[in-house]
Chain A
Amino acid sequence: MLPGNEVLMRLKSRDKTVIETIYRCLFPSINHWITMNSGSLEDAEDIFHDTLLCVMTKLDAQSINLTCDFSTYFNSICRHKWHQILWKRKRFLPLTVENLQMSIDEGDGFYDMDDGESIEDQKYHAFIEALNELDPQSQAVIEASLNGKSNKEIALEMGFVNTQAVADKKKNYKKKLIRIISKCP
């Protein structure tokens, strides 16, 4: 694989050979990971396409400052994007006539894609942005909790006195989250 900055430079100039190199080097592992995690070859291709497209369009707008290897950066985006797809699959009801009718009746905007982003997507982004505004320690606790760690494990890893201290921390960050989200338009 080429050095990260050279990859970015050549991507910016729409060099097809570098896209081929990225595909050859990174797609097999992305495909393997996605197919291992409830996806298909087509899903992996879509994720690869979408990630590269986002990187290239971001490069047009601003420069990307790589703090790690390009493959690590690219793989990380692919994995998070796949995470978002799975989030959508869990969050959204399967698109059937009944669900669509129910959504229209309730006016909850589940399938309201007029502005390119549904209300559910906006809620998700508001939640992620709110998490991003929290202090590093709260973020670490949330990450550990969302990654499946128990209060006991979190207390041991992060040096909390006991599990009650972790529970209190969680309660506090939820209060902060509500405050941040309530300020969102």
Chain B
Amino acid sequence: MKNFNYIEHIINNVVTDKAKLQFIGHLINDPELRKQYRQYIHIAEEIEQQENIIESVNQDLTGYAFIIKDIANLPDRLGYQSDDSGIDEVSLIIRTVIEEHKPSKPPGKNGWIRAAAVFSIGFQIFISVSSSATIALHCCNPIEMVI
């Protein structure tokens, strides 16, 4: 970028008002500088956005550390087409293994619903028994109880 140093200097360093006004003048008159300035700002915003997203993903994850070298060297499927028979064959083998060894499903939702229903019925019985016991105690005259 031809005007990179100039744009970087104006944006990042402390400059005089005169220099700023001069820069604005150049921006108005030089379409190339305007285009490069826009590009600079766009890249800076993009970097900011990427950092924010990655930071927020990292915050949500437990037991994870963002390591640049590892991420940059992640193996991918570059050079392989989706219709490559080799990749399809490998994919099928892996999927078969996953299906064959799929862990049996835990009780899941139904189990929880059933447990919640049993608990709520039990709780209601407990409440009604305890409240009738309290009423009975209140109704009884303690002196009569003693006699």
Contacts and interface: CB of A to CB of B under 8 A. Distances in A.
Interface of A: 14, 16, 19-20, 23-24, 27-28, 31, 33, 36-38, 41, 45, 48-49, 52-58, 60-61, 64, 76-77, 79-84, 86-87, 90-91, 116, 123-124, 127-129, 131-132, 134, 139, 142-143, 145-148, 171, 174-175, 177-179, 181-182
B77 A20 contact: no
A52 B94 contact: yes
A129 B72 contact: yes
Interface string B51-77: 101111111111111111111101111
Contacts of A82: 61
B68 A53 contact: no
Contacts, number: 145
Contact of A83 (B47, B62, B66, B76): B66
Contacts of B12: 171, 175
B26 to A, nearest CB: 19
Bin chain B's interface residue count: 35 or more
Contact of A178 (B44, B66, B103): B44
B72 A132 contact: yes
Given A148-B55, A182-B40, A49 B61 contact: no
A139 B70 CA distance: 12
